[in-house]
């Protein structure tokens, strides 16, 4: 048997037919960019996440840049971010003219901690923190970090590109974030058929500024009150997302099942399966296990031999990327991000993975001898 790391083509019955028919309607009516379907998606995702304001944009990287700008991050402001994340977070800070400062993550939770955020704030005196929630989890101390940032005038922007559908204490992660962003890239938990992204906020002013920035700083058709850019959400993407959102809960359940099966049934001591903190309900974006830098290479060869796809999310620390050198304003490093990068392994995980595929992965991994 062959099991891919991810298969995003496992759609529900009639899903593609419905999307295609509705896309044809949009074409016939000349709705290419924006239009009622974008408003329809924004209303539906606002309702699902119970946020005060939800806006669509062109991609998840733009969403971070829009959120940073709209929340008040300006040229030469320092912005903290975790050293273990996707490069888009580092890049976004630089692209808005600000200065990224990386903080190491915990070796146990793979995320920032309140203590590490405090250390970063005291050391770098940043204007903002870009908190990243990875693997379909939430950073374990999100509530404490939100409170600390609020009390210490640190603008908190949360990157939820991997966290759609995640719950903290029974509440959607997006509901009460000052400003959070997501990516609807096709391989994400809620994916479009191309690039798309979203911004969520509880703050009316941030929502209004974001709306202006993502449409050329427009305050009227030919009135431009700010320097923005074109980051509008396309109508076809919005249409695909409206239909996908109808199945989001079913897809989440299917993904969570895969993660739980691995945790319950893989007994190989070479792999230590992690889970989010007890107050968090994951969305099943990734399955996460830690090995060691010594055991992982042979395991990867073994997976390849047995035709099982895998991920190593992410294979390097941000501060070590060649592109970081010219821009980084400082770092707090204990070598954790580098260690995680060499030790992490992600097994196949996607919506509607078949039980026989899950069983094959479990049996094969259990038979691996380190
Ligand atoms: C954590 C994180 N932030 C930001 C992004 C950027 O999103 P996009 O690819 O839609 O620009 C991604 C997606 O790849 C991501 O995983």
Closest ligand 1 atom, CA of 185?
10
Residue 262's nearest CA partner among 197, 221, 308 is 308
Instruction: From 131, 182, 185, give the residue whose CB has the most ligand 1 atoms within 8 Å, as the site to mutate.
Output: 185
Closest ligand 1 atom, CA of 133?
1
299 lines ligand 1 (CB under 6 A): no
Instruction: From 161, 195, 214, give the residue whose CB has the most ligand 1 atoms within 8 Å, as the site to mutate.
Output: 161
Report residues of the chain scoring pLDDT below 50: none
Closest ligand 1 atom, CA of 195?
10
Å from CA of 146 to ligand 1 middle: 22
Å from CA of 59 to ligand 1 middle: 8
Instruction: From 66, 164, 183, give the residue whose CB has the most ligand 1 atoms within 8 Å, as the site to mutate.
Output: 183
Å from CA of 95 to ligand 1 middle: 15
243 lines ligand 1 (CB under 6 A): no
| Distance (Å) of CA 198 to CA 15, 70, 206, 274, 277 | 22, 13, 13, 28, 25
Regarding beta strands 330-332 and 99-103, do their DSSP bridges make them parallel or antiparallel, or are they unpaired? parallel
Q: What are the structural domains of the chain?
A: 15-245 (3.40.640.10), 248-366 (3.90.1150.10)
End-to-end CA distance of the chain: give it in Å, rounded.
22
231 lines ligand 1 (CB under 6 A): no
3-state secondary structure of 332: strand
Residue 201's nearest CA partner among 352, 59, 52 is 52
Tokens of 184: 């609807």
Alpha carbon 226 to its chain centroid, in Å, reads 28
59 lines ligand 1 (CB under 6 A): yes
Å from CA of 91 to ligand 1 middle: 11
159 lines ligand 1 (CB under 6 A): yes
237 lines ligand 1 (CB under 6 A): no
Structure confidence at residue 198 (pLDDT): 98
Structure confidence at residue 34 (pLDDT): 87
Å from CA of 162 to ligand 1 middle: 8
């Amino acid at each position: 048997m062959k099991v891919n790391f991810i298969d995003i083509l496992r759609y529900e019955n009639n899903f593609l037919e419905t999307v295609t028919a509705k896309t044809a309607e949009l074409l016939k009516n000349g709705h290419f960019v924006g239009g009622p379907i974008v408003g329809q998606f924004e209303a539906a995702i606002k309702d699902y996440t119970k946020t005060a304001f939800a806006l669509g944009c062109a991609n998840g990287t733009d969403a971070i840049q829009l959120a940073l700008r709209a929340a008040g991050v300006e040229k030469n402001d320092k912005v903290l971010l975790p050293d273990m994340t996707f490069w888009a977070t580092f890049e976004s800070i630089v692209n808005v003219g600000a200065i990224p400062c990386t903080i190491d993550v915990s070796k146990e939770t793979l995320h920032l901690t309140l203590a590490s955020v405090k250390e970063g704030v005291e050391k770098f005196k940043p204007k903002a923190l870009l908190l990243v929630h990875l693997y379909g989890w939430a950073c374990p101390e999100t509530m404490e970090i939100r409170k600390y940032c609020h009390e210490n005038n640190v603008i908190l922007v949360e990157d939820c590109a991997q966290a759609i559908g995640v719950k903290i204490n029974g509440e959607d992660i997006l509901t009460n974030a000052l400003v959070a962003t997501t990516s609807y890239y096709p391989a994400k938990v809620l994916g479009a058929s191309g690039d798309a992204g979203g911004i969520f906020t509880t703050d009316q002013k941030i929502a209004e500024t974001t709306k202006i920035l993502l449409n050329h700083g427009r305050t009227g058709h030919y009135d431009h009150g700010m320097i923005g850019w074109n980051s509008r959400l396309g109508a076809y993407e919005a249409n695909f997302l409206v239909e996908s959102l109808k199945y989001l809960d079913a897809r989440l359940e299917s993904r969570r099942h895969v993660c739980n099966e691995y945790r319950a049934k893989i007994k190989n001591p070479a792999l230590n399966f992690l889970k989010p903190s007890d107050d968090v309900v994951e969305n099943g974006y990734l399955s996460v296990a830690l090995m060691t830098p010594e055991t992982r290479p042979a395991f990867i060869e073994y997976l390849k031999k047995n035709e099982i796809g895998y991920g190593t999310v992410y294979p390097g620390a941000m501060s070590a990327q060649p592109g970081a050198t010219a821009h980084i304003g400082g770092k707090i490093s204990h070598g954790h991000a580098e260690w995680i990068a060499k030790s992490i392994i992600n097994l196949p995980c996607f919506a509607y993975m078949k039980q026989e595929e899950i069983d094959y992965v479990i049996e094969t991994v259990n038979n691996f001898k380190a």
